[in-house]
Amino acid sequence: MGKSSLKETSFAMNMNSVHSRETVCVFGTGDFGRSLGNKMFQCGYSVVFGSRNPELSGLHPKGIEVLSYKEAAQRSDLIIIAIHREHYNFLIELAEELQGKILVDISNNLKINQYPESNAEYLAELVPGAKIVKAFNTISAWALQSGTLDASRQAFVCGDDKESKQRVMDIGRTIGLTPMDQGSLKAAKEIENYPLQLFPMWKFPLYLSAALCVFYFVYCLLREVIYPYIQEEKDNTFFLAISIPNRIFPGLALNLLALVYLPGIIAAILQLYRGTKYSRFPNWLDHWMLCRKQLGLVALAFAFLHVMYTLVIPIRHYVRWKWSSRIINQIKTNKTDPFNTTTAWLSDSYVALGILGFFLFVLLGITSLPSVSNTVNWREFRFVQSKLGYLTLILCTAHTLVFGGKRFLSPSILRWYLPSIYVLSLIIPCTVLVLKFILVMPCFDRPLTRIRQGWERNSKVSKKAQLGSGNNEV
């Protein structure tokens, strides 16, 4: 949005520029009403407040009048209703004054879907003669007041009357916002729910990763700290800072990445089983599919942490001490470790696989930025998210497998019968990859492709189509 920067910098300059004075009326002298009124006043509008008790309505900048509702309404054909929905009733008495005027509903509720219909639609029912526009409810009074609109300047606007909507959008632009037309008044409910949300699509990914995190942590604590303490009386508590996180994070990253691709596989199996794509998926699967992007980004965050924790390894006091004591030991025992090409191969390969996997992972993350994903078409998006996504999963799984190397089958890695954490981490990714591998085999891929193109196993249309009567439809 170029606009943000346009507005940002002009904010300081243009504040007092003289405009031809258009009068706007604001009903209600509460915080947001005042902030909005003052802001419009600063930006060159003539502002009149309407209040129950005009004489009590506090300090206003010179030039702003506070009148009774009735008087104020007569001054302008555009009235901003800065009143809580519960008190809209008084507007019924003003029906005559409000006839044909533009009423801007800026109200918010306390919780999502609090009322059956949106506040703006309720207002439209109460004052049928007026043109209702929903706007400005997504803006914070504090931001308007202080001018620090560093968050989104987007102001969603909707309404059934196009002229009125344009008037309100013009006001929005003048006070430094970026109005976004959301269509008819039906959209008001969404717009009213919008400011109440707190990362709704992130909840499942975050809770899931928190749960997995706790499980992994306890598991590692047992194997890496408590076991050595009990069996060998070694104090490994300092592993809590880096060593243990660096076992938890890669495991989480790999598993969450696999969980991004699992719902697609479940959906494919369901479609193959049902023989149609037109039945709805179960709700849990729908929700899972809707938050795949967020799951992937959480996975990327853990991968990033894993990379950082790995790169600092040589700086750690413990690691330096271990290296020097190994060298000193070699000299004291006069036994030099010979160079082992296989170990060099394994060590270099798992590092290289990890780097390439992380690189593709970062690429996936970048393409999921809204401004980037908006510049690619559907075909390009599918290519990146599906092809590159699976390649990332393959590389990261291979990275973990090679990291395990020869130790997989050795019983020495079991402590209290618990295998290393990376063995556990491989279960889901390997399952996903095996299932995907089965699904891309022609015997499954062909019917699946047909189903996804609209073919149905038990449909007369599809049978007709199979009989070769031609398909002229998109």
Site for its own copies in 300-339 (CB under 8 A): 301, 304-305, 307-318, 320-321, 323-328, 330-331, 336-337, 339
First to last CA, the chain: 35
Burial class (CB in 10 A: 0-12, 13-18, 19+), 126: middle
Which residues, 65 to 84, sit near its own copies by CB under 8 A?
82-84
SS3 394: helix
Under a CB-based contact definition with an 8 Å cutoff, are residues 10 and 58 in contact? no
Judged by CB under 8 A, the residue of 75, 122, 166, 391 near its own copies is 166
Task: List the alpha helices (DSSP H) in 199-290.
Answer: 203-220, 227-232, 245-274, 283-290
Phi/psi at 60 (5° precision):
-130, 155
Q: Give the residue with the Cβ less far from its own copies, 231 or 449.
A: 449
- We find the least distance from the C-beta atom of residue 208 to its own copies, in angstroms, to be 18
Q: Give the residue with the Cβ less far from its own copies, 68 or 152.
A: 152
Q: Give the residue with the Cβ less far from its own copies, 86 or 96.
A: 86
- We find the least distance from the C-beta atom of residue 436 to its own copies, in angstroms, to be 17
Residue 373 binding its own copies, by CB under 8 A: yes
Residue 184 binding its own copies, by CB under 8 A: yes
- We find the least distance from the C-beta atom of residue 470 to its own copies, in angstroms, to be 9
In whole angstroms, give the CA distance from residue 117 to residue 135: 16
Judged by CB under 8 A, the residue of 65, 71, 114, 173 near its own copies is 173
Tokens representing 29 are: 């002298």
- We find the least distance from the C-beta atom of residue 252 to its own copies, in angstroms, to be 14
Judged by CB under 8 A, the residue of 16, 59, 441, 468 near its own copies is 59
Q: Which amino acid, residue 198?
A: L
Under a CB-based contact definition with an 8 Å cutoff, are residues 188 and 137 in contact? no
In whole angstroms, give the CA distance from residue 140 to residue 135: 12
Judged by CB under 8 A, the residue of 48, 72, 169, 268 near its own copies is 169
Give the residue from 474, 238, 214, 257 showing the smallest Cα distance to 362. 257
Which residues, 16 to 35, sit near its own copies by CB under 8 A?
17, 19, 28-34
Give the residue from 42, 27, 138, 120 showing the smallest Cα distance to 78. 27
Under a CB-based contact definition with an 8 Å cutoff, are residues 128 and 160 in contact? no
SS3 156: strand
- We find the least distance from the C-beta atom of residue 417 to its own copies, in angstroms, to be 28
In whole angstroms, give the CA distance from residue 154 to residue 149: 10
Residue 191 binding its own copies, by CB under 8 A: yes
Q: Give the residue with the Cβ less far from its own copies, 147 or 419.
A: 147
Q: Give the residue with the Cβ less far from its own copies, 68 or 140.
A: 140
Residue 2 binding its own copies, by CB under 8 A: yes
Which residues are CB-contacts of 11 (< 8 A; sequence separation ≥ 6)? 147, 149, 176
Judged by CB under 8 A, the residue of 378, 406, 442, 443 near its own copies is 378
Judged by CB under 8 A, the residue of 62, 111, 406, 460 near its own copies is 460
Judged by CB under 8 A, the residue of 16, 333, 377, 412 near its own copies is 377
Which residues, 332 to 371, sit near its own copies by CB under 8 A?
336-337, 339-341, 343-349, 351-352, 355-356, 358-359, 362-363, 369-371
Count of residues that interact with its own copies, criterion CB under 8 A = 171
Residue 471 binding its own copies, by CB under 8 A: yes
Give the residue from 149, 14, 40 showing the smallest Cα distance to 104. 40
